Amino acid sequence: MRRLFAIPLLGLLLLPGAAIGMPRATGDGTLSVRGATGTITIRASRGAVLGNVEKATTIVFKDYLPNDGSGPIVYGAQTKDEKEDGVTTVYAGKNVRFRLIGGRYFLKVVGSGIDLSVVGQGTVTLEGGSVVDDGIYAFNDDEYRSLPNLRLPFSLGASPQQPGG
């Protein structure tokens, strides 16, 4: 009897993870960032990003083609500044959550407690805040590494070109 109850319960627990999973097309890469302090910059030719930041000094979104995806959806920001160019919005605050699904975009996050999940193609720049524990990152299911203290660019794709590797 317990087994009959446990199997459907396990299915219900797995369902939310599958439902929020981001679609991944051929050639797309992934990036996962956990507990970062510093600056993360993403220039995606296509893709999606989900994230939250404990303390966001700035979160800059540029949605180059507003009708090609969801556009940035942001919760918890204490400030929001829409620039006159019609594509740039700057946010700041504590415990800010955001997502942008589909399309071409630019994202720059400066702060602490940065957690991101990215899928798509483009370039990524990682730069720690020069503290002892700046957080960790991983591309394409590789092992997690410490966030670099120097600004390092990476390609986001099926096989990112990592400096020194």
pLDDT score recorded for residue 103 = 83
pLDDT along the chain (165 residues), means of 10: 44 38 68 96 93 97 82 94 92 97 92 96 90 87 91 82 47
Helix, coil or strand: residue 77:
coil
pLDDT score recorded for residue 58 = 96
CA distances from 108 to 12, 87, 125, 165 (A): 35, 14, 9, 25
pLDDT score recorded for residue 121 = 94
Closest CA to 150 of 88, 134, 119, 7: 134
CA distances from 76 to 60, 88, 97, 121 (A): 15, 18, 6, 28
Tokens of 71: 């556009």
Task: Say what the alpha-carbon torsion angle 107, 140, 65, 18 is, to the nearest 10 degrees.
Answer: -110
